[in-house]
Amino acid sequence: METLSVKDRINSLRNVMNSHGIQAYIVCTEDFHGSEYVGGYFKAREYLSGFTGSAGTLLVTEENALLWTDGRYFIQAAEQLKGSSIALMKSGEKDVPTLAEYLGKNLAEGSVVGFDGRTVSTKMFWQLAKKLAAKKVTFAVDSDLAGLVWESRPPLSAEPVWELSTEFSGETRAEKLSRVRAKMSENNADFLALSALDEIAWLLNLRGNDVLFNPVFLSYMIIDKNKAQLFAKKEIFDENIVKALAEDNVEIKDYDSFYNALESLESGSAVMLDPAKVNCLITRSAAKNASVIERESPIMLMKSVKNPVEQENIRRAHIKDGAAVTKFMYWLKYTDEKITEISAAEKLEEFRKMQSGYLGQSFEPIMAYGANAAIVHYSATEETNTTIERRGLLLSDTGGHYLEGTTDITRTYVLGELTDEEKRGFTLVLAGHLDLAAAVFPKGTRGANLDILAREPLWREGLDFNHGTGHGVGYLLNVHEGPNRIHWRLKGNVGSEILPGTVTSDEPGLYIEGKFGIRHESLVLCREREDGFLYFDTLTLVPFDLDGVDKRYLSDREIKLLNAYHERVYKEIAPYLDEKEKEWLKTATRAI
Amino acid sequence: METLSVKDRINSLRNVMNSHGIQAYIVCTEDFHGSEYVGGYFKAREYLSGFTGSAGTLLVTEENALLWTDGRYFIQAAEQLKGSSIALMKSGEKDVPTLAEYLGKNLAEGSVVGFDGRTVSTKMFWQLAKKLAAKKVTFAVDSDLAGLVWESRPPLSAEPVWELSTEFSGETRAEKLSRVRAKMSENNADFLALSALDEIAWLLNLRGNDVLFNPVFLSYMIIDKNKAQLFAKKEIFDENIVKALAEDNVEIKDYDSFYNALESLESGSAVMLDPAKVNCLITRSAAKNASVIERESPIMLMKSVKNPVEQENIRRAHIKDGAAVTKFMYWLKYTDEKITEISAAEKLEEFRKMQSGYLGQSFEPIMAYGANAAIVHYSATEETNTTIERRGLLLSDTGGHYLEGTTDITRTYVLGELTDEEKRGFTLVLAGHLDLAAAVFPKGTRGANLDILAREPLWREGLDFNHGTGHGVGYLLNVHEGPNRIHWRLKGNVGSEILPGTVTSDEPGLYIEGKFGIRHESLVLCREREDGFLYFDTLTLVPFDLDGVDKRYLSDREIKLLNAYHERVYKEIAPYLDEKEKEWLKTATRAI
């Protein structure tokens, strides 16, 4: 087993850069599909730099090596880059140029910039190209140089695929393909190219296990008017699936043959793709013979609107998940065991595993005690793992995949005495959570219109939180999906309408550095009233810890909303609890 | 005095169209400056069609004549067009093409479309040109054919101009010019072309009387790095103003010489203009020698942010206006006189005229009784004038110009018994008004983020209103100004940030056809708290009629807000009332 140092690896990379005539090489963190988590095969940036964070970009030039990462990782990156000769570039800090700015300033005219185009979205590539236009730079977008120097690269994941029956998906593959083809026809497209793994999984009613926390499988698709090609490792499909796909005119092709297939589309034909989702090598390959129609993926919207079967299933998933998390809450508040952040997360996972249809965690659990919870992206490691004491707050943001859907819940638990500041924060965040969950609004309303309902109780007190208030959630798919989103800032895309059938999180928070972090998150289903107005139906069913509530910070209406929610939690969850738990839940959901 | 029929006028127009080689001629309603109200000189559409409404476009072709107008005017236009041979095109109705669609369908290829380019904004022209691109149409944009056939056309207004001292404006002309030149420099512009009359009046600290309800004067400007040219009728300036302008390097040129001056700019120079504000003849003339830089007018933002002197003055204007309207309210509720909508509006104007510094109405007053108030743009005429009875609601939306600023206030008065539906509506609209007025929000927040605060009490009950919630208000200038605006719909422009120093209206409403209309409007000043958050300080000081309030529809917080507001109204307004009025005001502003 080779154990080259990072310096050696960078030098090997420079050698192949030299032989390929490349003056600057960029190594990104993404996989070929824009996934939120990436497998070992895709961790070239980690291999070459030694930096293990989930966000960062490495640039290697003939003279220098630099790594850009954001505020979450400044300390970790500085530590891991020691002795590597790689300079740390703190993104967002004053006087720190972006990668494009750095290249713009330091590249010689006519240089060749290389990267693996499969790891850069088309949109990102256009932005880079625009910024370097004056430099007359050439891009070598098909150079996976990291692969050339990385001898013991882990293989691509190739876990078995399984079929999600219509009992759970609510719509056949044929029906979905037909809806997609109608959209292609609207846009005068002969082909649709897909690479987002959750879109392919949704469309084909298949699930896999190639990406951590996302039940998807590595694949691409090219759909035409009558048939479709699915590019994936052939060994991941059993005979029945191959047959079922063939019946719907879906042919399985080798994963690696996708780019060639795109390049070979008939000239004169038109291929539709989403530049925000497909990587730039896909766009380049598609444009070789065919003309490219850039459109937002039609599947994104279809997938976000849950059908009646999915909605009914999701309710069931939330009752199971609610029972598991409520049991955890009782255990957490009354156990005599010594608990740490990690052991608490394991205990919660145990409760979830007792539920039928449970398939695994939907994201890396956040179990953050005291001041740790003030770090928004905190996830306990062996090094940071903190013992939970009988005072203060524990923030617990976790979720599960069930056959009946995906959950995502944050509760902040009171473990003993609280300061007035903690109680005030706990209650103000709860007020915003309740106000947003009770919103009523006409069709056409966007997340940017709604956001203030969750923030106004905090804003009035001069407080705020620095993350979005809500994201879409997939059905037994990615826990973060678009296009529905709740945020007050109108950046770039102004945000899409909140449509009936979409599932969105409602998760305001408050983070006081060095002290505590609070977040209250439930998932809500958008529904339509008889009069045509829309409202949210809360899916998540776990009490808010009343030990944290200071009634002075709630309006009469918010108190009524809280009591009505707790009444519902008791009614729906009590049947799944033992007598002791049930008795406690009665108190935990009492009217205040 | 000629009294040609509309048919004769259209025929004369066709004759000059023919001699000018024009196949389709468009007559718009706008003046040369995009003003909200237009003087007699500009009423060519009214002269040629006989239709007197404030919105509408006439199209005359060799064979046909058609007039487009919107829902407010369908009945009036049908009546006024009788026997004219002009077809009424009901804009927005199903199957009614827009003017561009009609031309696209009916014009022969290669036709010449004429209009007076001074009455069409650059933005509108681009839209029309784009839609007719396939038709290979030529545009004759400098043809004022209406002027050729209109023998007794009223002259251009030329009322005297007067200077607004810095005691009222808070900033000298030289300071303002210097700020504008900094913006020109930022945009690498050699010249700035202006035609919006409120922008010119603001910049020069001058006021006039050429446009109904807007204290502005007909003019254009070309500003360069050191001097400026003001194009206006020379007779409107007295010697002192000419001298004062000269001291600031502003030279007066003839109104009509503006377009020639634009055409004669040095070639190679760059002229900045706002395509949403300047007409298309300006853009065409500017582009003759110079290059055009299209930018949002920098003056719009400067003008919207009121300086400390303006803010202090505006407070005073609202105390005066508050005293006048409060006196009116007392009179209205207790007089024995027989009142009509028109006589009530006259009475209110009398109270305003008693205030020092009062200069006139800031817009056409809306005094609408009972079901009339359900017509959002209602303004009483001799024909519709309704006697006010001792029951139901009177909606009164009026405003004044003072040396100390411009006001705009709507109160809905209770004249006797109300139905439960009226009380509920009155109170829900008030709840939204109070919630928006009490908003606290960070910098960067836009009107689209805030709007839901005003609507949510209505939305919850399945109610809504079909107009914006707030508009910017000028300082002794136009009562409607940008860019600040409160509306939930994200159309085209996503709306600008609400900045400290801006004055915006807060005016939710409810309109039940055939029954009643309710609106509660105050102006609010955006201010910054010590912690950096922004909030609204309510400027308007007149009670909300407590006879309309049903407490069941207000939250505890809203009741507190209402009581605090009324306490302030009493404190600020009582000193300006007589004993009887004061005694009544005590009751009218009682805590509920």
Handedness of CA A505, A508, A514, A515 (dihedral sign): negative
CA proximity to A491, closest of B276, B488, B449, B498 = B449
Instruction: Measure the CA angle with vertex A563, ends A562 and A566; round to 5°.
Output: 85
State the DSSP code for A278. Answer: S
Chain A hits for B533, Cβ within 8 Å: 459, 462
Q: Rounded to a whole number, what is the distance in Å from the CA of B289 to chain A's nearest CA?
A: 28
User: Which residue in A has a C-alpha nearest to residue B488's C-alpha?
Assistant: A449
Q: What band does A204 get if pLDDT is binned at 50, 70 and 90? A: very high
Question: Is A466 within 8 Å of A458 (Cβ atoms)?
Answer: no
Write down the pLDDT at residue B41.
Answer: 96
- Inter-chain contact A494–B490, Cβ cutoff 8 Å? yes
Structure tokens at B292: 């055009």
**Closest residue by Cα to residue A70 from A369, A371, A377, A277:** A377
**Whether A443 contacts chain B with CB within 8 A:** no
| DSSP string across A468-525 | -SEEE--SSS-SSEEEEEE-S---SS---B--TT-EEEE--EEEETTTEEEE-BEEEE
Nearest to B302 by CA among B88, B447, B506, B472: B472
Among the partner residues A439, A452, A555, nearest to B557 by beta-carbon distance: A555
| Beta bridge partners of residue A291, listed in sequence order | A270
A326, A190, A185, A362: which is closest to A266 by C-alpha? A190
B448 touches chain A (CB under 8 A): yes
Contacts of B558 in chain A (CB under 8 A): none
The answer to whether B177 and B224 are in contact (CB under 8 A) is no
Q: How far apart are CA A569 and CA A563, in angstroms?
A: 10
- When pLDDT is averaged across residues A188-214 and rounded to a whole number, the result is 98
Q: 3-state DSSP helix/strand/coil percent for chain A, to nearest 5?
A: 40, 20, 40
**Which of these, A89, A103, A92, lies nearest to A133 by C-alpha position?**
A103
- The model's pLDDT over A447-482, given as tens digits with 9 standing for 90+, comes to 999 999 999 999 999 999 999 999 999 999 999 999
Q: Could you say which of B449, B451, B459 has the minimum Cβ distance to residue A533?
A: B459
Q: Please list every residue in chain A whose beta carbon sits closer than 8 Å to the beta carbon of residue B532.
A: 462
Q: Would you state the structure tokens that stand for residue B211, as one six-digit string?
A: 């446009």
CA A550 to chain centre: 33
Give the closest of B439, B442, B557 to A464, CB-based: B442
Burial zone of B90 (CB within 10 Å; 0-12 exposed, 13-18 middle, 19+ buried): middle
Closest of B559, B481, B546 to residue B520, by C-alpha: B546
Of B520, B547, B510, B521, the closest CA to residue B374 belongs to: B510
The tens digit of pLDDT for each residue in A497-517 reads 999 999 999 999 999 999 999
| CA B344/CA B351 separation, integer angstroms | 11
- The three-state secondary structure class of B321 is helix
**DSSP string of A301-314, one letter each residue:** HHHHS--HHHHHHH
Task: Provide the whole-model pTM.
Answer: 0.94
3-state class percentages of chain B: helix first, strand second, coil last, to nearest 5: 40, 20, 40
Assess B301–A contact: CB distance below 8 Å, yes or no: no
Say which DSSP state B85 is in. -
**Cβ–Cβ contact B449 with A under 8 A:** yes
Q: Which residues of A touch B555 (CB under 8 A)?
A: 555-557
SS3 (DSSP) at A102:
helix
Q: Cβ(A412)–Cβ(B423) under 8 Å?
A: no
**Residue A92: its pLDDT value, please?**
87
| Residue A451 touches chain B, beta carbons under 8 Å | yes
Residue of A nearest to B558 (CA): A555
Q: Specify the amino acid at residue B473.
A: V
**A556 CB near a chain B CB, below 8 Å?**
yes
Query: pLDDT per residue over A378-419, tens digit each?
Result: 888 888 899 999 999 999 999 999 999 999 999 999 999 999
pLDDT profile of chain B (592 residues), mean per 10:
82 96 96 94 96 94 95 90 95 92 92 96 89 90 92 94 98 98 97 98 98 97 97 97 98 98 96 96 96 96 98 98 98 96 98 98 97 88 92 98 98 97 98 98 96 98 95 97 92 78 98 96 98 98 98 96 98 98 98 98
**Tens-place pLDDT, residues A157-174:** 999 999 999 999 999 999
Phi, psi of A461 (to 5 degrees): -95, 10
**pLDDT of residue A237 exceeding 80:** yes
Q: Is B319 on the interface with A (CB under 8 A)?
A: no
Distance CA A360, CA A481 (A): 18
pLDDT of A493 reads 53
Report the alpha-carbon distance of residue B65 to residue B13 in Å, rounded.
Answer: 11
Which residues are within 8 A (CB) of A560 and not within 5 positions of it... i.e. 6 or more apart? none
Mutation for B interface: A428, A434, A441, A558, most B CBs within 10 A: A441
Residue A136: CB atoms within 10 A of its CB come to 11
Gap between the Cα atoms of A522 and A508, Å rounded: 10
> Nearest chain B Cα to A554, which residue?
B557
Tell me how close the Cα of B441 comes to any Cα of chain A, in angstroms. Answer: 6
The three-class DSSP label of residue A38 is: coil
Strand A409-414, strand A393-398: pairing: antiparallel
pLDDT in tens, A524-569: 999 999 999 999 999 999 999 999 999 999 999 999 999 999 999 9
* Strand ranges for A373-451 from DSSP E: 387-388, 393-398, 400-402, 405-406, 409-414, 440-441
Report CB contact under 8 Å: A490, B489.
Answer: no
Chain B positions in Cβ-Cβ contact with residue A558 (cut-off 8 Å): none
* Chain A neighbors of B494, CB-CB under 8 A: 490, 494
Q: For residue B91, give both structure tokens.
A: 């804009």
Cβ of residue B533 closer than 8 Å to a chain A Cβ: yes
Compute the distance between CA of residue A110 and CA of residue A132 in angstroms, rounded to an integer.
Answer: 10
Integer Rg of chain A from CA: 25
- Tell which phi-psi region holds residue A73, choosing left (phi > 0), alpha (psi between -120 and 50) or beta: alpha
- Interatomic CA distance for residues B577 and B354, integer angstroms: 12
The beta-carbon neighbor of B452 closest among A452, A489, A494 is: A452
B110/chain A closest Cα distance in angstroms: 30
A376 phi/psi in degrees, rounded to 5: -55, -40
Give the chain A residue whose CA is nearest to the CA of B451: A449
Select the residue of A450, A459, A556 nearest B452 (Cβ to Cβ): A450
Instruction: Say yes or no: A490 contacts chain B, CB-CB below 8 A.
Output: yes
SS3 B582: helix
Query: Letter for the amino acid at A234?
Result: K
Contact between chains at B529 and A462 (C-beta distance less than 8 A): yes
CB atoms A449 and B446 under 8 Å:
no
Nearest CA distance, A553 vs chain B (angstrom): 11
Amino acid at A245: L
Q: Which amino acid is at A523?
A: L
Tell me the C-alpha distance between B43 and B221, whole Å.
24
- Name residue A98's amino acid: T
Task: Compute φ and ψ for A252, nearest 5 degrees.
Answer: -90, 125
| Shortest Cα–Cα distance, A486 to chain B (Å) | 11
pLDDT of A2 higher than 80: no
Strand order across the beta sheet in which A522-528 lies: A440-441, A534-538, A522-528, A503-506, A470-472, A481-486
Task: Please name every residue paired with A398 in a beta bridge, in sequence order, or none if there are none.
Answer: A409
B349 phi and psi angles, rounded to 5 deg:
-60, -35
Size of the A and B interface in Cβ pairs below 8 Å: 68
> What is the share, in percent, of chain A residues with pLDDT greater than 70?
99
Is any Cβ of chain B less than 8 angstroms from the Cβ of A440?
yes
Name the maximum alpha-carbon separation found in chain A: 75
d(CA B230, CA B561): 48
Which chain B residues are closer than 8 Å to A533 by Cβ? 459, 462
Residues A101, A102, A107, A112, CA torsion sign = negative
Cβ of B452 and A460 within 8 Å? no
Q: Which residues contact A303 (CB under 8 A, 6 or more apart)?
A: A198, A199, A202, A474, A475, A477, A481
At A494 the pLDDT is: 59
The torsion angles phi and psi of A36, rounded to 5 degrees, stand at -70, -35
DSSP B255: G
**CA A270 to CA A109: how far, in whole Å?**
35
* Global ipTM: 0.92
- Put simply, whether B441 touches A (Cβ < 8 Å) is yes
Give the Cβ contact number of residue B108 at 10 Å: 11
Separation in Å, CA of A432 to nearest CA in chain B: 13
- At A407 the pLDDT is 98
For residue A1, what pLDDT is reported?
Answer: 45
pLDDT for res B92: 87
Measured between beta carbons, the chain A residues lying within 8 angstroms of B439 are 452, 456
Q: Is the confidence at residue A520, as pLDDT, over 80?
A: yes
Cβ-based neighbours of A564, under 8 Å, separated by 6 or more:
none
- Residue B555, both tokens: 């939250």
Separation between Cα atoms, residue A123 and residue A279, nearest integer Å: 8
